[in-house]
């Protein structure tokens, strides 16, 4: 096998190893994918300022996120259905994150449950909440996260209604994946994936057993289920309600607008994640990196601000920090690793980003990740 030198190598391998419908679910964005592609273009367009003759022998990437020590300013974003990209995907990703000293976030719509992930790791992880129409169920999820000693709650604000992803509809993505004449050949070409899925007990929405009709055992298309269960009436009062139930750090994710950022802090957010959901929700929303400076200007003195949507390399992390983010989350970048090589792939994805960030810091004359600021960006 040719050596893996960048995240795109992991993406290519994941494309070969995961079933097509599942790879597309990970890889693609909503509607015409203007925002998905714009995220990358806007990050690529930023340039770094080369500095020379500065002693950069001793470098540190360590910092804190929501008060927790991390080995670098990168956390694993919550991603749904991770356990069908690779058998036990959430457990493997949580283990890789723990070994790398970075946070892992478990999605509400994960395949492995809160309890299954808790049993597999020693270090507390974070739980991401989607608020359902059934508020008692949402409250019970918060309670389960507390019982599992999750150390922060991530409330996702930008998916009251799901943006349409053409690929998922065309591929008929279901949970668990359904065997049809159309996809049987594709699945046969992925024996590694199929063998893993056959052996694991985790094949359905782990946190939602007993909530989805049929005990979580039926085949449900994700968009149908989201449409029927997620609460489109969600408002800032509800965020205050979540705040009242959760004594720990509250992270509000999916903010692109300065007014929304102020409202989130007023409702009790400790951290805001500037994000367009990786280009999976409102198509033609701005690239998240272009929205970041406005949010930093609006509330940067009142809470921590993190960034996601488009990060694939350490250079991207450096750019986000230069524009005022304290840290970044990664979604697809770690999922490509997971789809390619399971836990080892997530470790590889994190190692690549760590090395890229370290080298890019050195070449911009930066010794400590906490010193990164606008001075590392090149401006004509």
Task: Give the interface with ligand FNR as residue ranges (CB under 6 A).
Answer: 25-26, 77-80, 107, 109, 128, 156, 253, 275, 277-278, 280, 308-311, 330-333, 335
Which one, 73 or 78, has the nearer CB to ligand FNR? 78
Residue 44: exposed, middle, or buried by beta-carbon count in 10 A (0-12, 13-18, 19+)? middle
**Of residues 303, 295, 300, 301, the one with CA closest to residue 250:** 303
Rounded-to-integer distance, Cα 323 and Cα 294, Å: 10
- Rounded least distance, CB 53 to ligand FNR, Å: 35
**Residue 365: CB partners within 8 Å, gap ≥ 6?**
51, 52, 54, 56
- Rounded least distance, CB 42 to ligand FNR, Å: 12
- Rounded least distance, CB 141 to ligand FNR, Å: 13
Determine whether 34 is an active site residue.
no
Q: Which residue is nearest to ligand FNR (CB)?
A: 331
- Rounded least distance, CB 308 to ligand FNR, Å: 4
> Which candidate in 34, 86, 202, 277 is catalytic?
277
- Two tokens, residue 113: 């449950």
Alpha carbon 301 to chain centroid distance?
25
Q: How many CA atoms lie within 13 A of 43 on its CB side?
A: 24
Which one, 95 or 280, has the nearer CB to ligand FNR? 280
Rounded-to-integer distance, Cα 190 and Cα 20, Å: 10
Which one, 129 or 363, has the nearer CB to ligand FNR? 129
Which one, 43 or 376, has the nearer CB to ligand FNR? 43
- Two tokens, residue 307: 């960034």
- Rounded least distance, CB 306 to ligand FNR, Å: 10
Which one, 63 or 105, has the nearer CB to ligand FNR? 105
What is the dihedral sign for C-alpha 17, 95, 153, 209? positive
Which one, 156 or 360, has the nearer CB to ligand FNR? 156
- Rounded least distance, CB 321 to ligand FNR, Å: 15
Q: Which residues are known catalytic residues?
A: 277
């Amino acid at each position: 096998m040719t050596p893996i030198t960048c995240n795109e190598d992991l993406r290519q391998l994941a494309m070969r190893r995961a079933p097509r419908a599942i790879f597309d679910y990970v890889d693609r964005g909503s509607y015409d994918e203007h925002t998905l592609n714009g995220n990358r273009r806007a990050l690529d367009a930023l340039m770094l300022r080369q500095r020379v003759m500065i002693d950069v022998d001793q470098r540190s990437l360590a910092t804190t996120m929501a008060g927790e020590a991390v080995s670098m300013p990168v956390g694993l974003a919550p991603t749904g259905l991770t356990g069908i990209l690779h058998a036990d995907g959430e457990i493997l990703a949580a283990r890789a994150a723990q070994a790398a000293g970075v946070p892992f976030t478990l999605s509400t719509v994960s395949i492995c449950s809160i309890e299954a992930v808790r049993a597999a790791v020693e270090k507390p992880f974070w739980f991401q909440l989607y608020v359902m129409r059934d508020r008692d169920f949402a409250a019970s999820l918060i309670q389960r996260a507390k019982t599992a000693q999750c150390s922060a709650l991530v409330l996702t604000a930008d998916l009251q209604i799901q943006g349409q992803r053409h690929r998922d509809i065309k591929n008929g993505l279901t949970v668990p994946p359904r065997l049809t004449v159309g996809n049987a050949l594709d699945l046969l070409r992925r024996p590694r994936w199929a063998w893993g899925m056959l052996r694991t007990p985790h094949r359905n929405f782990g946190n939602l057993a007993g909530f989805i009709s049929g005990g979580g055992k039926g085949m449900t298309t994700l968009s149908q289920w989201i449409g029927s269960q997620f609460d489109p009436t969600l408002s800032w009062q509800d965020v205050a309600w979540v705040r009242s139930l959760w004594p720990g750090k509250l992270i509000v994710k999916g903010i692109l607008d300065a007014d929304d950022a102020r409202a989130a802090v007023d409702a009790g957010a400790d951290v805001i994640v500037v994000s367009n959901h990786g280009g999976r929700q409102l198509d033609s929303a701005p690239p998240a990196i272009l929205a970041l400076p406005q949010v930093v200007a609006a509330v940067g003195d009142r809470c921590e601000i993190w960034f996601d949507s488009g990060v694939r390399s350490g250079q991207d992390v450096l750019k986000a920090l230069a524009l005022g983010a304290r840290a970044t989350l990664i979604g697809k970048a770690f999922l490509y690793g997971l789809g390619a090589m399971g836990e080892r792939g997530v470790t590889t994805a994190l190692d690549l980003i760590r090395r890229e960030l370290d080298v890019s810091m050195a070449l911009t004359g930066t010794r400590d990740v906490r010193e990164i600021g606008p001075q590392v960006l090149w401006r004509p």
